[in-house]
Amino acid sequence: MSQAILENLNNKLTPEIKADLNAVIGLEFDGTPYTFDARTEGTGLLNGTPDSHGLTPRISISSSSSDFEKIIKGELNPMMAAMTGKLKIQGDMSFAFQLTKLFG
């Protein structure tokens, strides 16, 4: 995963978005796990799984890094990516729609 994309995610994590999301998100790109702590008191992107940080994810997302970059850049529709298996989502599916604030 591009360091610039990861930094971009952290930069989007404003206090307003933290308040709206208030959740831990598990991310995996090309087999590399990350934790995105988007809770009100959260610290943003962390290396490793949520479990390794003593956190429980509300949702877990996995994708290739290239497909996720396309989603972030608006070149790939996240709904189409999920329907075609390029984006795998586990957990609270209704919450997934709120992530456009962060990933869109």
In this predicted structure, what is the pLDDT of residue 31?
93
3-103 to CATH, choices 3.30.1050.10, 1.20.20.10, 3.30.390.30, 3.30.70.3270: 3.30.1050.10
Mean pLDDT, the chain, rounded, equals 91
pLDDT in tens, 28-77: 999 999 999 999 999 999 999 999 999 999 999 999 999 999 988 889 98
Domain ranges of the chain: 3-103
User: What's the rounded Cα separation, in Å, for the pair 8 and 70?
Assistant: 13
